[in-house]
Structure 1
Amino acid sequence: MAPSRTDNPEMAKKHLKVRTEAKRLKTEMGKVREDQLCLIEEQSKLMTRFGEIERQCNELKQEAQMMAKQSALTRLKLELMLGILKAREGGDLVQAANLTRFLRKIVAMEKANAI
């Protein structure tokens, strides 16, 4: 009859070490798996946050562009008003009327776009 593993104390000791090491490795693998799941969850949260930040950034860019357009339009209207005043002071009523008509068109376009 062939000797069993448990009959040899050295073999039993090695077998116990191997089983203990296997259990330890399984435990570590479980911890690594948990850590990976946590990392995936955190990565998902970060991607969501980055998406929100990107959306807010785009909104701010659009607002800044709109403000720049409004500023340029306001400057144009102010320059037209100044031109109207200077034309009236100089007695050039035709020029003042042309500038006034142009200013009214701009204001009408602004109101139409606001609606």
Structure 2
Amino acid sequence: MKNLKAGFRRLKAEMQEISKEQQSIKEGQKQVREKLEDIEAECAQLRKDTDIMIRQSAANKLNLCLMFKILKAREEGDFLKATQLAQLLRTILSRQNEQRQGCT
């Protein structure tokens, strides 16, 4: 009977130890899940920022292209074309400014 009681006590102690380990594992999983959620949120923000930079870069490239075409038209003496391109550039810049103001 003493051996049986000792075995139950040992088993009970082992069960408590296992319970503590399981609780520790659950807490670790919770921390990992929270860190993963933080990383995912940061990745989403980086994707948004990258998208904005790509769009701004494309807009800058378009603006520079138009400016060079305006300069070339002026050099060639084609002032009508230069005027039309300048008006197009103004329109594009105006729209870009409106979009920037709408985003803030």
TM range (shorter): over 0.9
Question: Would you identify which runs of 4 or more consecutive aligned residues in structure 1 move more than 6 Å?
Answer: none
- Aligned pair count reads 101
Q: Paired residue for 1:58?
A: 44
Q: Structure 2 regions of 5+ residues with no counterpart?
A: none
For residue 75 of structure 1, give the secondary structure of its aligned residue in structure 2. Answer: helix
Q: Are positions 1:26 and 2:26 aligned together?
A: no
For residue 36 of structure 1, give the secondary structure of its aligned residue in structure 2. Answer: helix
* C-alpha distance after superposition, 1:4-30 (max 9, x if no partner): xxxxxxxxxxx1111111100100100
Q: Are positions 1:111 and 2:92 aligned together?
A: no
Q: Paired residue for 1:11?
A: none
Q: Are positions 1:43 and 2:2 aligned together?
A: no
**Match for 1:88 among 74, 77, 94?**
74
Q: Provide the TM-score with structure 2 as the length reference.
A: 0.95
For residue 112 of structure 1, give the secondary structure of its aligned residue in structure 2. Answer: helix
What is the RMSD of the two structures over their aligned residues, measured on CA atoms? 0.6
Higher relative contact order (CA 8 A, sep 6+): 2
Q: Provide the TM-score with structure 1 as the length reference.
A: 0.86
Q: Distance in 2 between matches of 1:66 and 1:40?
A: 39
* C-alpha distance after superposition, 1:22-63 (max 9, x if no partner): 100100100100111111111111111100000000000111
Q: Structure 1 regions of 5+ residues with no counterpart?
A: 1-14
Deviation at 1:73, TM superposition (A): 0.4
Larger Rg: 1
For residue 77 of structure 2, give the secondary structure of its aligned residue in structure 1. Answer: coil
For residue 18 of structure 2, give the secondary structure of its aligned residue in structure 1. Answer: helix
Deviation at 1:110, TM superposition (A): 1.1
